[in-house]
Structure 1
Amino acid sequence: MEIGILGGGVAGLSVALALRKRGYRPRVYERRAGPASMGAGVTLWPNAGFVLEELGLLQDIAAAGGRPVAMRRQDAAGNALGGLDIALLDQLMGYPTHTILRRDLQAVLLDHAARAGIPVAYGHRTVAIDLDAVGKAVARFENGVSIRPDLLIGADGRMDSVARGFVAGHNTPVYQGFVNWIGVAQGRGALVDDIAIQDFWGSGERFGCVAVKPELVYWAAAQARPLPAAEPAADMRKEVEDLFAPWPEPVARILRATPAHAIRLIAVHDLEPLHTWSRANVLLVGDAAHAPLPTSGQGACQALEDAWHLARCLDEADGGLDQAFLRFAEIRGPKTARLTEQGRVFARGLFATDPETCRLRNQRAKASDPMRDVQAIAAGWAQGLPMAGRVDSTPADGAGAGSLYRV
């Protein structure tokens, strides 16, 4: 079976690797002229760790990334608001959590794709998908090339997905009321005390920083605001430094260690859950199918889960695409829709501006039961995966502790 994958990011490459391990021969088509490196970093939670182990990637991810021990929450004045025992979460789920720069994750995926003999063609921007006379999809690229594989997988992202437009029509990304400034800080010495995730909550503002090494930290600063209409400030570091100047260390130290030219401003969007993930022989995966807010903590993790499940659905259907697509959507739809909603609920609380609402939010976070939080998150994130360390299979209703950690 000829398989074409539109998109060479986390979703596209992980799907290609999972299919190749099952004996398929996929080809990847990436719109950019070189490897994608959008975003600063990502936290690969234990459910992602399971898939990475299955794909033979975990050792290389561990070599390139960090092992966080905890997530700590504070308010804008530095008062503790509880947190998450990541070491305990890893123990319960049976797989490790890793923090990693997105460019390093991409490099690991590309290295393994090259070793597996998976072709990755750059400079192939999809401009249209049409059906031919027998109802098979034809993808047409800006460079004049077209492909007509037996299976076409849309892994072309959340914002300008041609594959999603073909499958679902006008399912446009939804702005969720806040922006992220993102960057990577590199210090000559330690910027933080340990490999951990630190999350600072204000009123309509938030700063999160994630250590890969004590001297290497990726971060996101966020603020609730209307959809930006103007160009970003010329000096974005100064803009962020001024906004977060009163906040506790290591915020200022991390910002000073970030090259001003490397900071990006993102208006944060997600997608309404889709009613269908496929049309004809085209299937959506990753952010093209389900693009949760970064407050879900699960974007890259769910792309990896897509890869693992899709390979098995194709095998079980013995190459029958209709049956494989139906089974894939049955497995993946409920979990990804739940995570999308959790990300939105968490964002609404996080970016509240009413002082009393913020006070109650912080009070609830401080009073939460750490063990119950870990158990709820483990159950929710393990759902649908054969993870030996799983506590139980009941989905969590509010695993908000994941929050930011993909930027």
Structure 2
Amino acid sequence: MLTVPPAAVTAPGRGGIRTVTATASCTRPSGTAVPAVAALRAEAYRAPLPRPWGPNVPAHHVIVAEVTLTDGRTGTGFTWTPATGALAVLALLDHDCAPAVTGLPAHPETVWDTLWLHLREAGAGGITTLAMAAVDIALWDLRASAAGHCLADELGRRRDTVPVYGSGVNLHYTLGELTAQARRWVERGHRAVKIKVGHEELAVDVERVAAVREVIGPDVALMIDANQRWDLFRARRAVAALEPFGLHWVEEPLPADDLAGQARLRRDTGVPLAAGENVRTVRGFRDLLTAEACDVLQPNVARVGGITPFRRIGELARAFDVPVHPHLLPDLSGQLACALPLPAMVEDVEDASFARLGILRNPAPVNLDGSVLRLTGQPGHGLRFDVDHLRKASR
């Protein structure tokens, strides 16, 4: 039985914050009350990057959410976007998510499926799944904290450490800046690194990939990321020109929705293809797999809608024997990687983790020690944001 008396709602303030409060309970047949969602509060912040991702991306946008249950406990969720859409996501959390989740039993999958049915006419991805991620991550935080252990243990820990690869948003770097970054990765002990490609002149990409290979040596895995910049014709030419440098994978060579083109490219080349950072739904990943369009899946936990769909993608990938390497956000992705069915690597874009941005008020839930990520064992997901710092940085 679910009982939800009328909610008490405060109007949105200047900071875009809304609190929805309700007295709600979910009762098992035995009569034991199950905590329900009582309130959702969210705020958007700007976190400046010490190494900008280009002239148009000097900062990241982080939306921090707090879910309060009827028993008084609170969980922290977040979602993330590097450049655009933060205020739209906040508005969706404010006006649509908060009323929809109030009174629901505080089970992540129950809430996620209900919220998806409520929001999907607004779109199958983009701000829809970004907003859902903030709610879902908060509920998983609550669930793991209630059990007294870390998120990886709640999900089913399979390993204690995962390898980390050095990554950079560096297409705008000069050749000297790029090779200096590659040297830093080698000095930190990384056994795999990734750089951006996709210049107008293929010869520029060849020069840069060759220079990085020379710096890192023959034994470090080298990945390249085109960020959807090529069409099929240019991708074929580029992969053929760059393959001699021993590529571990080529990431997003084509637009994310060009499954046919990606499948054709995969059949035509011997270099593994990686995709998924801009795929937003479980069915989208199913289509990638059934089209045999990639060798590596890279879901972003915020863009797919949170931990609940991320887990479903991981199980789906296992059925196809395709590894999942989480995209960005190592503070949380590292915890998810420790529970994935197949071995994974975690991406660490230089100086862009939450810990290195200085936006956490407690020690990070993961320790990035050179080429290895280790869990610190904090209850829940362990991400406690320094709201005062974020507010100052957002001014």
Question: Shared topology, TM-score over 0.5?
Answer: no
TM-score by structure 2 length?
0.23
**Greater relative contact order: 1 or 2 (C-alpha under 8 angstroms, separation 6 or more)?**
1
